[in-house]
Amino acid sequence: MVASICHAREVAKREPTILGREGLSALLDTLRANGYQLVGPVVRAGAIAYEAIAGLDDLPAGWSDSQEPGRYRLSRNDSPALFAYTVGPQSWKKFLPGAVTTLWQAKRQPDGGFVIAEPPTAAGNYAFIGVRPCELAAISIQDRVLQGGEYCSTAYLARRQKNFLLAVNCTRPGGTCFCHSWGTGPKASANFDLVLTELLSPPGQRFLLEIGSATGAEIAVQIPQQIASPHELAESAQLLERASHQMGRTLATAGVKELLARNIEHPHWESVAERCLGCANCTMVCPTCFCTTLSDTTNLTGDQAERVASWDSCFTLAYSYLHGGSVRSSRQARYRQWLTHKLSNWFAQFGEAGCVGCGRCITWCPVGIDLTAEVGAL
Amino acid sequence: MGKKLGPKIAVWKFASCDGCQLSLLDCEDELLSLAAVIRIAYFPEATSAELAPPYDISLVEGSITTAHDSARIQQVRESSQLLVAMGACATAGGIQALRNFSHVEEFAAKVYAHPEYLEHRSIDLAHSPPALRAAGDPLCGQDRLSGAPGILNRATAIAEHVPVDYELRGCPINKRQLLEVLNALLNGRRPEIPTHSLCLECKLQGVSCVMVSHGIPCLGPVTQAGCGALCPAYQRGCYGCFGPSESPNTAALSEALLQIGWQRADVMRAFRSFNAAAAAFRQAGEAYAR
Ligand code: SF4
Ligand code: SF4
Ligand code: SF4
Ligand code: SF4
């Protein structure tokens, strides 16, 4: 049965609808027409990266990846699928607010004094295209960390103020994914504006569209779409049910907080330290890690100074440097800090875990250290 | 009212290729503003003008490979307020430190038709700095004259001879790091020279990991950042030219390199390059030489 084209304004408020490839293209154009800058997945140097895109043609059609601890490979087939890849090394924190942020600048005045100014972070008005459910969860974790409490990042706030999240449900999880263990995927449940599920069965490629916010509804009404058939709804549900059994990894999340708290002194930390390079890749790729370091620089003549925040990691020695030396001078202390923060101490600090099960830290660890296996060994 | 004279900077060359000195001249955009705040007191590569010692900052390129140089570095130190060793040669001995694992005479015989023409001057203790004369040994520590007179058995870092205030890694150094050190010293602040792994720099720049996504062997996880992730940005593995990072686990990385297809000899050769004599790389090279 062919669903009839109906008036978009009526549809968008109600049922899930169906878009064709042109419909999705129109959705991207509409976002742009509404003042958003599109950022989405592209293939860059053998991996999926998040970059500015012009439209549908920039999306990674036919690309998918295979992932295992310490190994990632992209490959392409003739499928038209736009979202057959899973998350890559980058996350949306690349834009929220990014790896390096200038916090303030000071200028010396003729009278010898100086004036301090906070350079405004460009709002960006980003529409993120293809945000995965685990990434939505990561963004809401960072929302709590960076704008929830007493210490709020104005740069982060500026970026989140007008920030459209076009999510995509995961029908093809990767070999290091375990979002089902946290309940953060493979289906988006909150914190998005619109969400797509890509269907590839006959009669061909189409996208189930669901609305998650008033802003999402306002955009959705502007594009042509059809009401989804019961068959299409069933197919989508089936794909997501199947995906939740296809995760490459599992983490016993129940009691993990207590498990780690009980095992601060455990011989296993030493065994991890023998393998761990202390290279910090795990923290850099993690979509919830938020730590930054501050550096103060000047111009040559000393008339201008600025303070810059850049991504830092609890794996560096400088991170825990206090007067006289680094508190966590051994790799085992640093790995333990990372794992216990993610899975245990984050609860005390922010009332939830600091992990969403995206698997990045496992894939992008050059020696393939697997957090699920390390927890399993405790 | 006269303008305050900028600090006097001297640039010294020891056993090296001049590449690091050139980084200073390569600071094209900043060179004029730099020239306005410092005085170049000694820099034969750039100017024949000379100002007499003492110097506020000495930039030292190259490693110590001859008895003559081991005496000369003492004089440089004595005449300098601050001494900055720049480059893999000055901070680790450089590529010429490969001799440390072999015999200088052998190399000399292979390279020169007449190795006997190599520096023949005997060491004249009377012309060595007082501290050395007192020690009675112009060769600082365990080095002895090699078979070729005047040439030392080992090429060594500046810090093995004299106290060094700052070290700039790399073969060659990164000009932004050089400017940062000069800038910081001029403004009385601490230079921002991170000592962590190169991997952070890859990630800060959005460079995807060549090891994980292509299986290309990379020394980045045990190498100090600072180059701007130059090689990985062009999809090549890091060669380790910035030397060991602050806490390098070379054993674990070497295992991973074997797993992605390297032989033991490849691992040894990877660690035996520009920073072969830096402690962590030397040990890794030795472990895989066997
Ligand atoms: S800890 Fe690992 S799996 Fe969890 S969110 Fe961070 S990168 Fe993803
Ligand atoms: S795990 Fe480390 S880098 Fe990540 S948020 Fe915690 S302390 Fe920061
Ligand atoms: S766990 Fe892996 S990615 Fe993280 S610091 Fe250790 S070696 Fe690097
Ligand atoms: S490419 Fe090399 S330096 Fe960069 S993250 Fe990978 S292992 Fe580290």
Residue A316 reports pLDDT greater than 70: yes
Residue B58 reports pLDDT greater than 90: yes
Residue A16 reports pLDDT greater than 90: yes
Distance CA B152, CA B211 (A): 39
Of B41, B32, B197, B227, the closest CA to residue A300 belongs to B32
Distance CA A369, CA A362 (A): 6
For residue B127, what pLDDT band results from cuts at 50, 70 and 90?
very low
Q: Which CATH architecture has domain B8-186?
A: 3-Layer(aba) Sandwich (3.40)
Q: What pLDDT score does A265 carry? A: 95
Q: What pLDDT score does B121 carry? A: 40
Residue B135 reports pLDDT greater than 70: no
Average pLDDT of the residues of chain B: 88
Residues of B in contact with A297 (CB under 8 A): 180, 183, 192
Tell me if A282 CB under 6 Å of ligand 3: yes
Tell me what ipTM this predicted complex has: 0.94
Of A240, A126, A125, the closest CA to residue A189 belongs to A240
Q: What angle do CA B190, B191, B197 make, to 5 degrees?
A: 125
Question: And the tokens for A272?
Answer: 């991890």
Q: What pLDDT score does B3 carry? A: 58
Kindly report, residue by residue over A41-78, the tens digit of the pLDDT. 999 999 999 999 999 999 999 999 999 999 999 999 99
Protein residue with least CA distance to atom 3, ligand 4: B220
Residue B138 reports pLDDT greater than 50: no
Q: What pLDDT score does B27 carry? A: 86
Residue B21 reports pLDDT greater than 70: yes
A312-318 average pLDDT score: 97
CB burial of residue A156 (10 Å; 0-12, 13-18, 19+): buried
Lowest average pLDDT, out of B62-71, B133-142, B155-164, goes to B133-142
A81-110 average pLDDT score: 96
Kindly report, residue by residue over B243-264, the tens digit of the pLDDT. 999 999 999 999 999 999 999 9
Of A157, A100, A165, A158, the closest CA to residue A137 belongs to A165
Asked, as a colleague might, if the bond just before A41 is cis with ω within 30 of 0, I would say no
Residue A110 reports pLDDT greater than 80: yes
Q: What pLDDT score does A13 carry? A: 53
Protein residue with least CA distance to atom 2, ligand 2: A314
pLDDT > 90: percent of chain B? 71
Residue B232 reports pLDDT greater than 90: yes
For residue A229, what pLDDT band results from cuts at 50, 70 and 90?
very high
Tell me if A375 CB under 6 Å of ligand 2: no
- Ranges of each domain in chain B: 8-186, 198-287
Report in angstroms the alpha-carbon separations of B138 from B63, B64, B147.
16, 12, 16
Q: Tell which atom from ligand 2 comes closest to the C-alpha of A286.
A: 4
Q: Which amino acid is at A49?
A: A
For residue A14, what pLDDT band results from cuts at 50, 70 and 90?
low
Q: What pLDDT score does B165 carry? A: 97
Touching B: A residues 47-106, CB under 8 Å:
47, 49, 70-74, 88-90, 94, 99-100
Residue among B204, B249, B256 minimizing CB distance to A310 = B204
| H runs (alpha helix) in A194-280 | 214-220, 230-244, 256-262, 268-275
- Best probe residue, ligand 3, of A276, A338, A341 (max atoms within 8 Å of C-beta): A276
Q: How far is the CA of A312 from the centre of ligand 2 (A)?
A: 8
Protein residue with least CA distance to atom 8, ligand 4: B199
Structure pTM? 0.92
Residue B8 reports pLDDT greater than 50: yes
Q: What pLDDT score does B149 carry? A: 55
Lowest average pLDDT, out of A12-26, A46-60, A225-239, B276-290, goes to A12-26
Kindly report, residue by residue over B74-98, the tens digit of the pLDDT. 999 999 999 999 999 999 999 999 9
A191-196 average pLDDT score: 98
Residue A1 reports pLDDT greater than 90: no
Question: And the tokens for A176?
Answer: 């290091």
Report in angstroms the alpha-carbon separations of A367 from A27, B27, B215, B270.
41, 38, 11, 18
Residue A345 reports pLDDT greater than 80: yes
Q: What pLDDT score does B50 carry? A: 87
A284/B203 touch (CB, cutoff 8 Å), yes or no: yes
Chain B closest CA to A284's CA: distance in Å?
6
Average pLDDT of the residues of chain A: 94
Q: What angle do CA A103, A104, A105 make, to 5 degrees?
A: 145
A211-235 average pLDDT score: 96
- Ranges of each domain in chain A: 17-101+122-244, 256-292+312-377
Touching B: A residues 312-331, CB under 8 Å:
313, 315-318, 329, 331
Residue B110 reports pLDDT greater than 60: yes
Kindly report, residue by residue over B150-184, the tens digit of the pLDDT. 788 899 999 999 999 999 999 999 999 999 999 99
Sorted by sequence, the CB contacts under 8 Å of residue B269 that are 6+ apart come out as none
Distance CA A246, CA A239 (A): 10
Contact, A166 vs A314, CB < 8 A? no
In the numeric block, the tokens 């938020």 are attached to A290
Q: What pLDDT score does B17 carry? A: 95
